[in-house]
Structure 1
Amino acid sequence: MVTLYRYASELLRKQYYYDWGLRSFKSVLSMTGYLKRITIKEDSEEIVLVKALRDMNIPKFISDDVHLFINL
């Protein structure tokens, strides 16, 4: 996750509302825990983390950055 955020901060366009700091990191981890509790227990932690990363980050991206982020 740290590597993903590092690459995203370097490769995506610089928007003032893109947050790659600890606040965003903590929010994604909190969402991961929440999703893990309410979703199918067979889902691995990696799958739940990817869902949380997408749910928490994609809505704030401009359209060109969505494709870049998904490909990271």
Structure 2
Amino acid sequence: MSSAILRIVYVVLIVAAGALPAHAMGGGGPPAWTMTLNYCRQTVANKGITDVTKFDEEVKKCFADPVSYPPAYSRPRW
């Protein structure tokens, strides 16, 4: 009887030890939308827009489609 209990304890310990790294690997850092918003704010700020209304409009345009939004620097045409 005691060997069966000992086996159960070992199984539980092994499973618990394996679960800790799995939980630790999950999602660190800010959500993707905040990183996109920060990128858009920085891109619009690099363009030199100082009017608050125009700045907000440009950030909204960038946030809607950050891939095709034109950055402040010219892209190389290869």
Q: TM-score range by the shorter chain?
A: 0.3 to 0.5
TM-score, structure 1 as length reference: 0.34
- The structure carrying a bigger helix percent of its residues is 1
More relative contact order in 1 or in 2 (CA 8 Å, sep 6+)?
1
Larger-Rg structure = 2
